[in-house]
Amino acid sequence: MRWLGLMVAVVFVTPGIFRPLAGHPLELVNLVFHETGHVLLAPAGATLMLLGGSLFQVLVPAVCIGHFWRRCDHYAAGLLCLWLAQSWAGVAAYVQDAPTRALDLITGDPDTHDWWQLLGACLTPGCGHLNWADPLGRLLMVVAVLTALFGVLLAIWNDLQEL
């Protein structure tokens, strides 16, 4: 049954990894934690408030993974790695969108794009590092794929030990 559950999880999550921000159901879950991160880190200043969204989006599934890891429940931790992978992919797409700000934001205002602000949106020409958005987004996508692969291996770890 565990193998079937893992296969269902992989089939469910994979589209959210390879087509992030395209309407996957986990995106709504991630959005809640993303926005919560902004609210909780707002007192820490503008930069941490902006980072807080993406940070909490990946931190919440990571904490859940840690909980099951400590209990030596590799299967549950592995399944949660798939959620974390989908969350990393969403952050990657968000980062890559910074120069164009083409995504529909819940504020409706493209100037509120976290990564557009973080990577140096300013009024002076040549200021900022928006050219980092694509390579950083690609790196985060690699992290997402590696996290998913690690999650699958972790989920079947106990079965592999029995071979």
Give 5-35 pLDDT, tens digit per residue.
999 999 999 999 999 989 999 999 999 999 9
Number of independent structural domains in the chain: 1
User: For residue 121, what pLDDT is reported?
Assistant: 63
Residue 73 lies in a domain: yes
Q: How far is CA 94 from CA 32, 85, 108, 125, 139, in A?
A: 15, 14, 15, 23, 13
Residue 22 lies in a domain: no
Residue 38 lies in a domain: no
Higher-confidence position of 121 and 157: 157
Helix pair angle (25-41, 74-96), 10° resolution:
80
Residue 67 lies in a domain: yes
Token pair, residue 132, equals: 């980092």
- Would you say residue 123 has pLDDT above 60? no
Residue 26 lies in a domain: no
Please tell me the distance from the alpha carbon of residue 29 to that of residue 59, in angstroms, as a whole number: 13
- Decide: pTM greater than 0.85: yes
Helix, strand, coil tally for the chain in percent (to 5): 75, 0, 25
Residue 72 lies in a domain: yes
Residue 12 lies in a domain: no
Range of the domain at 88: 58-161
Residue 44 lies in a domain: no
Token pair, residue 21, equals: 């921000």
